[in-house]
Chains A and B, each alone.
Chain A
Amino acid sequence: MINKKVEIVNRAGLHTRPAATLVKLASKFKSDFYIYQDDMSINGKSIIGVMTLCAEQGSKLTLQFEGEDESEAAAEIEDYFKRGFDEL
C-alpha cells in the first residue's frame, strides 16, 4: 500500500474537468485508489465520488493506492496533482 500526501494547487480546485481526467487516469490501473480528506474518504475511480469531494484550492488530501501496479499508479496520479491538473 502506498500513501501520498498532495495539495490542490490550481485555482479552480478539483472541478468537473480535472475530476473526469483523474478518474480516467485511475481506471487505467488495476490497483484500488482512495482519496482521503479530513474524515471523509472516497473511491478515486468514481467520478461522482470525486465530484462530491468538493476539494478546493489549498485542500490537503491523502491518496492511497493498493494493488499490483500501485507504484506506477501512485507516480502518475501524484504527478497529475502536482501539475495542478494542467491548469497552472
Chain B
Amino acid sequence: MNFNQIETYNKNGVIVLKGLPAAPGYAIGPAHIYHRDKIETFPSVVLDPSEELLNLESAIEKSKKELSKIISISREKIGERTAGIFEAHALILDDQLLFGPILENIKNNRFSAEYSVDKEFSKYISVMKQSDDQILLERAADIEDLKSRLIRNLRKKRWESRLKHSVIIVAHSLTPADTLLFSRNEVLAYVSEFGGITSHAAIISRALNIPAVVGLHGAMSKISDEVQLIIDGFNGFVIINPDEVLLNFYSKKIKSFSRNHEKLKEIKNLPAETFDGHRIRLNSNIELVDEVDFAIANGAEGIGLFRTEELFFLRGNFPTEAEQIETYSTLAEKMYPETVVIRTFDLGGDKLLLEDYHEKNPFLGWRGIRMMLDKSHIFEEQLQAILISSVHKNVKIMLPMISTIEEIRQSKVILEKVKFKLQSASIPFDKNIEVGIMAEVPSIAFCISDFAKEVDFISVGTNDLTQYILAVDRGNEVVSDKFQEFHPAVLRALKMIIDGAHNENLKVSICGELASNYLAVPLLVGLGFDELSVNEHYLPEIKKLIRSSNISELKELTQECLLYKSHIEIIKLCNKYLKKIKWEYD
C-alpha cells in the first residue's frame, strides 16, 4: 500500500478524508469532538449602563488574566517568538481606539456590553476578511477568538480546556489558544473543518510537534465522539474507522518514524552551526513531493531545489498547468513557513529531449533556459503555476543553465506578463516572489557582479560548473578521471561567485552533488556558502560534521587549498582535516 492508494481506499465502514497537512506526524486514537460555544448577541437595551460598564471592565481583566496564563505556557512550551502572538492579543484589550466606541455604545445608546463588543469587533473582523492576502485573512480568526473570550467572560462562563485522556481533537475551527491549551493534556493530533496552513493555530501545532490536518470541510458530521481515527499530518489524511490493513500500515509508519526520530532527536532541532557560532542553512534537494516528508523528518530547514523535470519524466510529456499547480502548492504547504525553491524545467543535455532532435554536442546545446525561452508558452504556463502556488509567500523561482544577462531579462519579462495576467484576473500570488539563477556555466563566475544585480539569489550547480570549467563530459568514461570536483579552478570559481554575490548582498547556496560530499563540506563552509542543499539522507550527518567544526579552522583550510595547484593536494588536506576532527566516512 502507498499513500496514493489510501486516497482511493474504499472498504466497508472506512472513510478517508483529505484535508490540508498543517503539521507533520502520524497519530492513531479516539476522536474527541470539541464544540466551542457559538456566540450570538442581540441588540438588547440595558437599564443601568454603569453596571454594564463595570461588568465589561471585569470581563477585560479576566480575559487579560487568561491571556497572561496562555503567554507563560507558550513561552515555556514554544518560545518567546510565538508567545508574541498572544502578547499582541493582550494589547488589543488595551486598545483605546477599539474600546472607545464600545463604551460610547453602552453609555449613550444603553446597549448591552455583549452586543457592543460583538458589533465593534465584528467591524474589524469583516475588514480583515476582505483582504486578498491569505495570511491576513486568517488573522481575522484571532480577533474572532478574542471577541468570543470577552463575551464568554461577560457571561461569566468558565473556561474549559482539560481533557480526560489521550485523544484526537476534532473541531469546527481551532484558535491558537485552544491549540496551545489542549496540548497540556495528551493530545495526539488536531483536526479542524476550517483554517489554513498559515493560521496561528497551525504554526503552533508545528511548534508543539503535534500532527494536524485542517480545512477538512464536513468532518464534524462524519466523525463522532470516541470513534477511532488515523491522522496523517504529512499527507493531510484523516481515516475514520480504519480496518486492520490501514492500522498495520500506519502502525509500522509510526514505529519507523519514531525510531528515526529518536536517533535524530538530539540533533534534528539544533542548527547547522560551527563550534564558534557560524550558522549555515541546511536545505534539501528533492524530485518528488513525497520526499518532502523525509526531508522534514531529517531536519531540512527548507527545500533548496525542487527539480520539476521529474514531472515530465513521470508522464513522458509536459504536465498540465493544473497538475503543476497541485504539485507546487502541496510542496509549498508542506514546507510552510519555510521556503521552497522551484527550478523551472531543465531539459536537454543528458536529460530527456523535448523533440526528436539530435545535437552533436547536447551539453553545449539546446537545454535549460535556452529551450524554455524558445518554448515560451510552456514556460509561461509553468511560471503561472508557480505563482499560483506562492500565496503563502514561501516559494522562490530558480532559472537553470543561465549563461547570459539577456536570458535573465527575457525570463523576467515573461514573468511580469504572467503576473499582470493573474492580477487582472484577481488571482492571488506573491507579488514579491524572489527570482534566482543557477550558477553552472563559467560565464557567470567571470561576470558575477553583473549577474548578481539582476536577481535575488544565486545557487551553484557544481556538476555542470565543473564539467564546463574543465571541458570534461562527466558521462564519458574515457575522460571521467579528468572530471575533478576538487580541481583548483573549480575551487577558485566558487570563491569568485561567492565573493561577487556577497558584494551585492545576495545569499549564495550550493545545490550540487559536492554539497553532499563529506570531504567537500568543510571547504564549502570555509568558502562562505550561506546555504547547503543536499539529498535528505545526508542531512543529519552533514549537520553533525558542521557542528564538529570551527569556522576559523575551515577558513584557514580553505585559504590553504586555494593556493594548491593540484586536486590531489586539496583532497589530501581535506582528508587530514576530517581525521583531525575524528570524522569517519566511507
**A residues with CB within 8 A of B:** 11-13, 15-17, 19-21, 23-24, 43, 45-49, 51-52, 54, 56-58
Would you call A52 and B88 a contact (CB within 8 A)? no
Q: Is B95 among interface residues, defined by CB-CB distance under 8 A?
A: yes
- Interface code B83-124, partner A: CB below 8 Å = 1, 0 otherwise? 011011001100111100000000000000000000000001
Determine if B142 and A16 form an interchain contact, defined as CB atoms under 8 angstroms apart. Answer: yes
> A11 near B393 (CB under 8 angstroms)?
yes
CA distance A54 to B454 in the complex (A): 29
| Interface pair B393/A47, CB less than 8 Å apart | no
Q: Is B135 a contact of A46 with CB atoms below 8 Å?
A: no
- CB pair B84–A23 under 8 Å, yes or no, is no
A45 nearest CB across to chain B (Å): 8
- Name B136's closest neighbour in chain A (CB-CB): A54
Check A24/B91 contact, CB under 8 A, given A11-B393, A51-B128, A52-B124. yes
State A54–B138 Cα separation when bound (angstroms).
Answer: 12
Given contacts A54-B136, A58-B431, contact A46 B96 (CB under 8 A): yes
Ranked nearest first, the 4 interchain pairs of A and B with the lowest CB-CB distance are A46-B97, A20-B88, A17-B84, A47-B91
The residue that B91 contacts in the complex, of A12, A23, A52, A58, with Cβ under 8 A, is A23
Question: Are the CB atoms of A52 and B133 closer together than 8 Å?
Answer: no
Q: B139 contacts the other chain (Cβ, under 8 Å)?
A: yes
Provide 26 A-B residue pairs closer than 8 Å at the C-beta atoms, listed in order of the A residue.
Answer: A11-B432, A12-B135, A12-B393, A15-B136, A16-B142, A17-B81, A17-B85, A19-B88, A20-B87, A45-B97, A46-B98, A47-B88, A47-B95, A48-B95, A48-B97, A48-B124, A48-B143, A51-B139, A51-B143, A52-B127, A52-B128, A54-B136, A56-B133, A56-B431, A57-B393, A58-B432
Q: Report the minimum CB–CB distance from B320 to chain A (whole Å).
A: 30
Extra A-B contacts (8), CB below 8 Å, given A49-B95, A51-B128: A16-B84, A20-B88, A46-B95, A46-B96, A47-B88, A51-B124, A54-B136, A57-B393
SS class, residues of chain B in contact with chain A: helix
Q: How many angstroms between the C-alpha atoms of A48 and B144 in the bound complex? A: 12
Do A16 and B85 have beta carbons less than 8 Å apart? yes
Of residues 130 to 189 in B, which have CB atoms within 8 Å of A's CB atoms? 131, 133, 135-136, 139, 142-143
Question: What residues of chain A lie closer than 8 Å to B95, measured between beta carbons?
Answer: 46-49
Assess whether B135 is in contact with A48, with CB atoms less than 8 Å apart. no
* B131 partner, pick from A12, A15, A45, A54, beta carbons under 8 A: A54
Most buried by A among B127, B131, B136: B136
Most B C-beta atoms less than 10 A away, residue of A48, A57, A58: A48
Q: Specify which chain A residues have a CB less than 8 angstroms from the CB of B431 in the assembled complex.
A: 56, 58
